[in-house]
Structure 1
Amino acid sequence: MISLDNSILYTALPELSAQLGATPGQSLWIINAYPLMLSGLLLGTGTLGDKVGHRLMFMVGLAIFGVASLAAAFAPTAWALVVARAFLGVGGATMMPATLALIRLTFADEQERNTAIGIWSSVAVVGAALGPLIGGALLEVFWWGSVFLINVPVVVIALALTVLLAPENVPNPAKHWDAVSSLYALVGLLGFTMAIKEAANPERTGWLLALALAAAVLGGTLFARRQTLLDDPLLTFDIFGSRLFTGGVLAAVGSMVVFIGVEVMTVQKLQLADGFSPLQAGLAIVAMAVAAIPASTLSGANLYRAGFLPLVSGSFVVATVGIGFLVWGSTAASLSVELVGLVAMGIAGGAIMGVASIAIIGAAPMHRSGMAAGVEEVSYEFGALITVAVTGSLMARWVVLGQETQPYEVAYAGAYHAVLWLLGIAAVAFALLTWWCFRDNPKSGSLVAH
Structure 2
Amino acid sequence: MASSQTPNRWVFLGVISCGLLLISADNSILFTALPALRTKLHMSELEGLWVLNAYSLVISGLLLGTGTLGDRIGHRRMFEIGLIIFAGASALAAASPNVAVLIAARALLGMGAAVMMPATLALLRITFVDVQERNVAIAIWGSVATIGAAAGPVLGGFLLEHFYWGSVFVVNIPVALAALIATFILAPANVKHPGSRWDLAASIFAMLTMTGLVLLIKEIAHPGLLWLGILFTILGSIAFWRRNASLPEPLIAMDIFRSRLFSAGVLTALFTMFAHSGVMLVTTQRFQLTEHFSPLQAGMLTGVAAISAFPTSLIGGFILHRIGFLPLISGGLTIMAAGFGLCYLAASNSIFPLFVLGIISAGAGSGFAMSVASTAIVGSAPKQRSGMASAIEEVSYEFGALISVSVFGTLLAAIYTRNSGLEANFAGAIDAPALDSSFVWLLGFAAGSTLIGAATTGWLLRNNPKDTAYAHE
Shared fold, TM over 0.5: yes
Alignment of 1:2-401 (within 5 A): 2-199=23-220, 201=221, 203-205=222-224, 208-401=225-418
Cα distance in structure 2, aligned partners of 1:252 and 1:441: 18
Give a deviation string over 1:194-214, Cα, whole Å, max 9, x none.
Answer: 001111x2x321xx2122112
Give a deviation string over 1:231-256, Cα, whole Å, max 9, x none.
Answer: 11211111111111111100111110
Q: Which amino acid in structure 2 is aligned with residue 92 of structure 1?
A: A
Report the 3-state secondary structure (helix = DSSP H, G, I; strand = E; otherwise coil) of the residue aligned with 1:302.
Answer: helix
Matched, 1:433 2:456: yes
Report the 3-state secondary structure (helix = DSSP H, G, I; strand = E; otherwise coil) of the residue aligned with 2:31.
Answer: helix
Contact 2:68 2:198 in 1 (8 A): yes
Cα distance in structure 2, aligned partners of 1:366 and 1:251: 22
Contact 1:287 1:342 in 2 (8 A): yes
- Count matched residues: 446
Report the 3-state secondary structure (helix = DSSP H, G, I; strand = E; otherwise coil) of the residue aligned with 1:299.
Answer: helix
Displacement after TM superposition at 1:448 (Å): 2.6
Contact 2:382 2:472 in 1 (8 A): no
Report the 3-state secondary structure (helix = DSSP H, G, I; strand = E; otherwise coil) of the residue aligned with 1:171.
Answer: coil
Report the 3-state secondary structure (helix = DSSP H, G, I; strand = E; otherwise coil) of the residue aligned with 2:32.
Answer: helix
Q: Which amino acid in structure 2 is aligned with residue 152 of structure 1?
A: I
In the superposition, the TM-score normalised over structure 1's length comes to 0.97
Cα distance in structure 2, aligned partners of 1:249 and 1:29: 25
Displacement after TM superposition at 1:407 (Å): 7.2
Cα distance in structure 2, aligned partners of 1:19 and 1:360: 42
In the superposition, the TM-score normalised over structure 2's length comes to 0.92
Q: Which moved more, 1:393-402 or 1:144-153?
A: 393-402
Displacement after TM superposition at 1:127 (Å): 1.0
Q: Which amino acid in structure 1 is aligned with residue 85 of structure 2?
A: I
Structure 1 residue ranges, 4+ long, deviating more than 6 angstroms after superposition:
none
Question: Which residue of the partner structure matches residue 446 of structure 2?
Answer: 423
Report the 3-state secondary structure (helix = DSSP H, G, I; strand = E; otherwise coil) of the residue aligned with 1:2.
Answer: helix
Q: Which amino acid in structure 1 is aligned with residue 455 of structure 2?
A: L
Contact 1:269 1:413 in 2 (8 A): yes
Displacement after TM superposition at 1:420 (Å): 1.2
Contact 2:321 2:466 in 1 (8 A): yes
Cα distance in structure 2, aligned partners of 1:240 and 1:324: 31
Report the 3-state secondary structure (helix = DSSP H, G, I; strand = E; otherwise coil) of the residue aligned with 2:72.
Answer: helix
Cα distance in structure 2, aligned partners of 1:264 and 1:311: 25
Cα distance in structure 2, aligned partners of 1:93 and 1:410: 40
Q: Which amino acid in structure 2 is aligned with residue 416 of structure 1?
A: F
Report the 3-state secondary structure (helix = DSSP H, G, I; strand = E; otherwise coil) of the residue aligned with 1:10.
Answer: coil
Q: Which amino acid in structure 1 is aligned with residue 192 of structure 2?
A: P
Displacement after TM superposition at 1:397 (Å): 1.1
Displacement after TM superposition at 1:334 (Å): 2.0
Contact 1:312 1:352 in 2 (8 A): yes
Contact 2:125 2:134 in 1 (8 A): yes
Cα distance in structure 2, aligned partners of 1:407 and 1:156: 42
Cα distance in structure 2, aligned partners of 1:409 and 1:22: 21
Cα distance in structure 1, aligned partners of 2:130 and 2:163: 45
Q: What RMSD over aligned residues (CA atoms) do the two structures have, in Å?
A: 1.5
Cα distance in structure 1, aligned partners of 2:292 and 2:140: 35
Cα distance in structure 2, aligned partners of 1:353 and 1:71: 32
Report the 3-state secondary structure (helix = DSSP H, G, I; strand = E; otherwise coil) of the residue aligned with 1:6.
Answer: helix
Displacement after TM superposition at 1:332 (Å): 2.3
Cα distance in structure 1, aligned partners of 2:128 and 2:138: 10
Report the 3-state secondary structure (helix = DSSP H, G, I; strand = E; otherwise coil) of the residue aligned with 2:189.
Answer: coil
Matched, 1:446 2:469: yes
Matched, 1:409 2:432: yes
Q: Which amino acid in structure 1 is aligned with residue 468 of structure 2?
A: G
Give a deviation string over 1:314-352, Cα, whole Å, max 9, x none.
Answer: 111111111111112212222211110000011011111
Displacement after TM superposition at 1:447 (Å): 4.9
Q: Which amino acid in structure 2 is aligned with residue 218 of structure 1?
A: L
Contact 1:178 1:233 in 2 (8 A): no
Cα distance in structure 2, aligned partners of 1:227 and 1:331: 48
Cα distance in structure 2, aligned partners of 1:342 and 1:376: 25
Cα distance in structure 2, aligned partners of 1:286 and 1:391: 19
Give a deviation string over 1:358-378, Cα, whole Å, max 9, x none.
Answer: 011101122222211111110
Cα distance in structure 2, aligned partners of 1:410 and 1:42: 41
Contact 1:97 1:373 in 2 (8 A): yes
Give a deviation string over 1:62-88, Cα, whole Å, max 9, x none.
Answer: 100000000000100011100000000
Q: Which moved more, 1:342-351 or 1:221-230?
A: 221-230
Cα distance in structure 2, aligned partners of 1:411 and 1:93: 38
Cα distance in structure 2, aligned partners of 1:214 and 1:445: 40
Contact 2:213 2:229 in 1 (8 A): yes
Contact 2:63 2:118 in 1 (8 A): yes
Displacement after TM superposition at 1:449 (Å): 8.3
Q: Which moved more, 1:118-127 or 1:63-72?
A: 118-127
Cα distance in structure 1, aligned partners of 2:258 and 2:293: 48
Cα distance in structure 1, aligned partners of 2:437 and 2:417: 11
